[in-house]
Amino acid sequence: MELGYKAAVTGADFFDHDLDVVHVCTPNSTHAEHSLRALDAGFHIICEKPLAVDAATARTISDRASALGLGGTVPFVYRYHPMVREARARIRRGDVGALLTIDASYLQDWMLNAEDDNWRVDSGSGGPSRAFADIGSHLVDLLEFITDEAIVSLVATTRTVHPRRGGAAVTTEDTVALTVEMSGGGIGSVLISQLAPGRKNGLVIEVAGSKESLRFAQERPEELWVGRRSGSQLLMRDPDILSPDAARLCTVPAGHPQGYQDAFNAFVADSYAVFAGEEREGVPTLADGVRAALVTEAVLESATERGWVEVEQR
């Protein structure tokens, strides 16, 4: 009310309002219901990940939006750090050479203790995957976005460290380790954990190519490490020397730190621009939400079968 907005409403009354965009930020198991209702009411959607708790339903949402001529995006917001865009631009113009290896991790500690609990723990509200669907999806989206390549096969191991939380049995994973094969022939390792003491939001991607390496760490978003056989450098965010796509996301001058909130703001701004009919580079669409769901299902299948699986391509 302080900003002039009306209080929230629930149920069918919500979709009777004259809206442009609906943001779906509810528990995972309700994403599909709310997204489909919003689309059927004629509204664009921004749906939190996972788009749905299974890939088939995620695809239904994406297909519905396309059939209705409506837009939809998923907040894979780490794409919106300028130095992520710089890494992508350098790979695209051939600076890195052929992709050889990827070393990626996303480590947090907020679920470290058995007493730590959250609605995501319950598969009834969070879905069959927790750590991977929650943060692993961000990491996989980012590594595929930066490299312009897709994971084609993987082998995964998962662990549920605490069998009970909040007085209930736990069926979702705390940690995930993957080995992946990329569409261009490279290989990589991916580690996901929400039980890493001291790591608050430690998302790191290092890509090694035949010419150069690149390393981005989300907790140091103003930097991109460029590795060479000789003459490695730490590149700082400065719009005067960055690629056009990276420079457009620099909202303050060099030396004035940008961070997570700036990335999220840029994602929302690009989403609204796309809904208004404008072109924006690198917007994470509903198709990217489907992709995340496909990779998540492959991870769970591999962990259950204890073997390599092919990842269905969208």
Distance CA 287, CA 204 (A): 24
Q: What's residue 285's pLDDT?
A: 99
Q: Which of 1-5, 88-92, 301-305 has the lowest mean pLDDT?
A: 1-5
Residue 17, pLDDT score = 79
Q: Report the pLDDT value the prediction gives residue 7, as an integer from 0 to 100.
A: 63
pLDDT of residue 216: 99
CA-to-CA separations, 240 to 92, 221, 245, 254, 257, in angstroms, rounded: 19, 17, 12, 9, 15
- The mean pLDDT value for 68-85 works out to 99
Query: pLDDT band for position 314 (50/70/90)?
Result: confident
Report the interhelical angle of 82-92 vs 137-147 (nearest 10°).
40
Paired sense of beta strands 72-73 and 44-47, if any: parallel
Rounded to the nearest 5°, which phi and psi values hold at 7? Answer: -65, 160
Residues 6+ apart with CB under 8 A from 87: 146, 207, 214, 216, 224
Which conformational region is residue 231 in: left (phi greater than 0), alpha (psi within -120 to 50 degrees), or beta? left
- Quote the tokens at residue 314: 């969208």
Confidence (pLDDT) at 4: 63
Q: Phi-psi region for residue 296, left (φ > 0), alpha (ψ -120 to 50) or beta?
A: alpha
SS3 state at 180: strand
Residue 132: closest CA among 306, 261, 301: 301
- Name the pLDDT band for 9 (thresholds 50, 70, 90): low
Could you give the angle at the alpha carbon of 134 between the alpha carbons of 278 and 161, nearest 5°?
170
Structure tokens at 299: 């991870």
Q: Taking residues 76-99, what's their average pLDDT?
A: 99
When the pLDDT of each residue in the chain is averaged and rounded to a whole number, the result is 96
Percent of the chain, pLDDT > 90?
Answer: 90
- Tens digit of each residue's pLDDT (9 = 90 or more) over 221-267: 999 999 999 999 999 999 999 999 999 999 999 999 999 999 999 99
The confidence score (pLDDT) of residue 219 equals 97
CA distance 187 to 197: 28
Domain boundaries, the chain: 80-254+286-309
Q: How many CA atoms lie within 13 A of 27 on its CB side?
A: 13
Fold of 80-254+286-309: Dihydrodipicolinate Reductase; domain 2 (3.30.360)
pLDDT in tens, 143-201: 999 999 999 999 999 999 999 998 899 999 999 999 999 999 999 999 999 999 999 99
pLDDT at 16: 80
- What integer pLDDT is reported at residue 13 of this predicted model? 74
| pLDDT the model gives residue 119 | 86
For residue 90, is pLDDT > 60? yes
**Cross-strand pairs, 189:** 103, 179
Tell me how crowded residue 253 is: count the other CB atoms within 10 A of its CB.
10
The answer to whether the CB of 61 falls within 8 A of the CB of 288 is no
Q: Where are the beta strands (DSSP E) in the chain?
A: 21-24, 44-47, 72-73, 99-107, 151-159, 164-165, 168-169, 175-182, 187-193, 202-209, 213-217, 223-227, 233-236, 309-310
Model's pTM, two decimal places?
0.95
Q: Is the pLDDT of residue 82 over 90?
A: yes
Q: Do residues 142 and 203 make contact, with C-beta atoms less than 8 angstroms apart?
A: yes
- HSE-up of 83 (CA within 13 Å, CB side)? 26
